[in-house]
Structure 1
Amino acid sequence: MRASRLLSILNTLQARGQVTAPALAEALEVSVRTVYRDIDALSAAGVPVYAERGAEGGYRLVDGYRVRLNGLSPREAEALFLGGLGDAAEDLGLGAAAAAAQIKLLAALPQEQRASAEQMRARFHLDAPGWFTDADRPAHLGAMADAVWRQRRLRIRYRSWKGEVERIVDPLGIVMKAGAWYMVGAVDGSVRTFRIGRVEALEVIAEGFVRPSGFDLATYWKASTERLDAELYPHVAVVRLSPLGLRILTSVSPPFVRAGLELDAPGPDGWRQARLPVGPYQQAVYDLARLGPEVEVLEPAEFRAGLAELLARAAALYRTRRGRPSRAGGQGALRARRA
């Protein structure tokens, strides 16, 4: 147990540079005093670890020191081969590098872990794009990824719903969401999101930039998507749902709507009253229309009236003579159905 803990401390220091004793204790789920003893043990074993005192101090390894131990457990080795980047790495221009890294990692693993990692790669695959959508293949993705990595400022011509605009952007990161690629970049001091497929032209500026202090791509993306969901579904509708309507709603609604769904207990007929996030008027009416007769909108009143009008127009369309089979055709169809 202690050997594993010492290796974890060594790998953490090697990966992060400088770490405080309380941070190590929290990560290892031990006391700070135990960390002190483990650091002493590493020093006694010849590992050049030293402490820097002060408010910004901590433990670190002597610059340039590296240990050639991967310390991977079988499950950790398997997880590395479950990364599933595949085409995404290729799109970023890292396909050959990713393949070479996996080959080198396999060569470094013990025989039993090597077989297990190969099995993981053969039996699990990540397909990021959603059903019935094509994977995004933006023309400028490779150049943009290189600019992100080298911290080079970009001049882009971007096609938004308002029209084409030109922007000077500090590219901070790239995200793939449901098969689509996005760039997160700073423009005039504010961080924005751009869909890379809408970049019409790109020029890499030789001038570099400094990343905002404390910026974390994953944290920004999570907050950004939550804010976007709230903007897309600003209203709340009160509805009644049949059991079938509830199943349809949960199968066709995005996660934000499902998470915000509040259900009352079923009535004698099995129908349930519910509150759910909905979009602006027209979007909400058409979204609810997908449930047909399995939903009754109670509030807001304008949404109820809008859905009633929409369904009435659909019913009128199917009552027209053009939309009905002839009498003979209808009888033939009925006889065929009975047969």
Structure 2
Amino acid sequence: MEPAGRVFRLFQLASYLQSGKTLSAAELAELCGVSRRTIFRDINLLRDAGLPLEYDEEGRGFSMPVRSYLRPAEFTFAETLSLLLLCEELGGDGGIPFHAAARSAAVKLLSGLPESIRDELGEVVERISVRLEAPRSDAGEPAHYQLLIDAIGKRQCLRLTYHSFEEDGEIRTQVSPYRIFFQRRAWYVVGHSSVHDEIRTFNVGRIRKAELTDESYEIPPRFSLKAYFGDAWSFIREPNDRHDVVIRFGPKVAGNVAEVRWHRTQQIVRKPDGSIEFSVTVDGLSEIVWWVLGYGKEAEVIRPDKLRDMVGEHVQKLAQAYEIDSPGPP
């Protein structure tokens, strides 16, 4: 079944459960056209959404009281369609911690719609798909996200055990969380760290243990992610390492590079041969060097020399790894 169809199947299952009959898992599986295993998984999703499912031990079946949903607001067809698509796609396995709530929200939204509109939406949604980036395997424990949300809401510090790549092992620190954000397939929290005595960024997926403390804190009134990250290429800002970068991209990739807004400072100059010169100002080169390498021979760093040398060093090491004669200095 297409991903979007899962929401409609969940709604269909809920409708059968509200029919006034007690239905076994086998009967529900036959009605929905899926396996008993899928029915049990869907029933758990409905329960996680807070719907009052009942199990009759004697009849060995499931049921649900009629009118268990809240009536939705008066959305337009386009608004309903967009919400269903977003709820379903974010309700998949894409590393989004709120996926269960998103999927159950879609089911509740469907519940209040007239049957004719539901059928029309179903036909449209089955023909539209939103493909998200591949999920990370270290998405993290759902409980950690909820603790972070609670900590920010209550302004209470968190005591964390965290696997740090920089320290090459586990560290223990007390964090005052300022912001939570999602970027590059992972969730991060930014806040003051007691061990480092400065504001740090932590990957939520690498939090091993989290505990809410009684100690309160205040978020600096002028704090913002925009100011914190500055002109970092992504989100690793390297203070006192600001560079004006110019990269020439060949005709084969120029169009793909030019059509994306990679950075707020970027400027593009198109050349007669179809190539482009891509200019950007960044605070640090460690992130952008990997982006440049991803385009292979179609990307040439014009300046600064530091970035050009970094790319050249990687190329030489690649040549050695593949036992190719060194290409020499860039």
Equivalent residue for 1:229? 233
Task: Give the Cα separation in 2 of the matches to 1:211 and 1:109.
Answer: 44
Confirm or deny: 8 A CA contact 2:177 2:192 kept in the other structure: yes
Confirm whether residue 110 of structure 1 aligns to residue 114 of structure 2.
yes
Q: Which runs of 5+ in 2 are unaligned?
A: 1-69
Which of 173, 196, 201 aligns to 2:204? It is 196
Q: How does 1:40-59 map to 2 (within 5 A)?
A: none
Identity of aligned residues (%): 22
Q: 2:183 aligns with which of 177, 188, 204?
A: 177
The separation in 2 between residues aligned to 1:98 and 1:290, in whole angstroms, is: 34
Q: Name the CA shift for 1:113/1:191 in 2 (closer, same or farther; >3 Å).
A: farther
Counterpart of 2:263, as a letter, is F
Q: Is the 8 A contact 1:239 1:273 kept in 2?
A: yes
1:76 aligns with 2:79: yes
CA RMSD of aligned residues (A): 4.8
In structure 1, what is the equivalent of residue 166 of structure 2?
162
| Structure 1 Cα separation of the partners of residues 110 and 179 of structure 2 | 29
In the TM superposition, what are the counterparts of 1:113-152 in structure 2 within 5 Å?
Answer: 113-119=117-123, 121-130=125-134, 134-149=135-150, 151=154
**Within 5 Å, which residues of 2 pair with 1:16-35?**
none
Greater Rg, structure 1 or structure 2?
A: 1
Does the 8 Å CA contact 2:92/2:99 hold for their aligned counterparts? no
- Which of structures 1 and 2 has the larger relative contact order (alpha carbons within 8 angstroms, sep 6+)? 2
Distance 1:90 1:298 in 2: 37
Q: String of CA shifts for 1:10-54, please: whole Å, max 9, x gaps.
A: xxxxxxxxxxxxxxxxxxxxxxxxxxxxxxxxxxxxxxxxxxxxx
1:299 CA displacement:
3.6
Q: CA deviation at 1:245?
A: 5.8
Q: Report the AA paired with residue 76 of structure 1.
A: E
**1:86 partnered with 2:91:** yes
Kept in 2, the 8 Å contact 1:136–1:181? The answer is: no
- Counterpart amino acid of 1:135? R
Which runs of 5 or more structure 1 residues have no equivalent in the other structure? 1-66, 321-339
Instruction: Output the TM-score relative to the length of structure 1.
Output: 0.51
Are the aligned partners of 1:156 and 1:202 in contact in 2 as well (CA < 8 Å)? yes
| AA of the residue aligned to 2:90 | L
- Aligned equivalents of 2:207, 2:133: Cα separation in 1: 20
Question: Deviation digits for residues 40-85 of structure 1, max 9, x if unmatched?
Answer: xxxxxxxxxxxxxxxxxxxxxxxxxxx9772222222222212232
Q: Distance in 2 between matches of 1:283 and 1:69?
A: 44
Q: 1:255 aligns with which of 252, 259, 262?
A: 262
Paired residue type of 2:163: R
> Structure 1 residues 141, 186: CA separation in 2 closer, same or farther (over 3 Å shift)?
farther
CA distance in 2, matches of 1:244, 1:89: 31
CA–CA distance in structure 1, aligned partners of residues 274 and 98 of structure 2: 55
Amino acid at match of 1:165: I
| TM score, norm. by length of structure 2 | 0.52
Does structure 2 retain, via aligned residues, the 8 Å contact 1:172–1:184? yes
* Structure-2 separation of matches of 1:296 and 1:121: 43
Local SS of the residue matching 2:90: coil
Which range is displaced more, 194-203 or 277-286?
277-286
Conservation of the 8 A alpha-carbon contact between 2:189 and 2:201: yes
- 1: CA distance between counterparts of 2:312 and 2:192? 46
* Aligned equivalent of 1:244: 252
CA distance in 1, matches of 2:206, 2:303: 38
- AA aligned to 1:85 is L
Code of the residue aligned with 1:256 in structure 2: it is H
